[in-house]
Amino acid sequence: MPLLDGLAVTKAIRKHEATREAKQKKHCTIIGISGNDNPQLSDICRKAGMNHLLVKPLTLTDLHQHIKESANQGGRPHG
């Protein structure tokens, strides 16, 4: 992304969600996709508020599975 990276966008979305009057609403599901397979990146992304981080190459089956898992959790980020 030209102006913000995925971590910055995730943090901004989660901050916006926290300021809404109806905090009981579901959170947006955020699934990061990266070519970086650094094991620490997954922790960094989760701390930023991502639900999942997928590392390329990935399949549509992988993406579909993570979307289903997030939907079953009500879109809440892993903490």
Closest C-alpha to 28, from 20, 37, 40: 20
Which residue ranges form the domains of the chain, and what is each CATH number?
A: 6-72 (3.40.50.2300)
pLDDT value at position 28?
Answer: 85
Summarize the confidence of residues 62-71 as an average pLDDT. Answer: 86
Which of the four pLDDT bands, split at 50, 70 and 90, describes residue 12? very high
Residues comprising the chain, all counted: 79
Q: Is the confidence at residue 79, as pLDDT, over 50? A: no
Closest C-alpha to 72, from 26, 8, 14: 26
User: Three-class SS of residue 55?
Assistant: strand
Q: Is the confidence at residue 27, as pLDDT, over 70? A: yes
pLDDT value at position 56?
Answer: 94
pLDDT value at position 23?
Answer: 63
Q: Range with the lowest mean pLDDT among 16-20, 28-32, 54-58?
A: 16-20
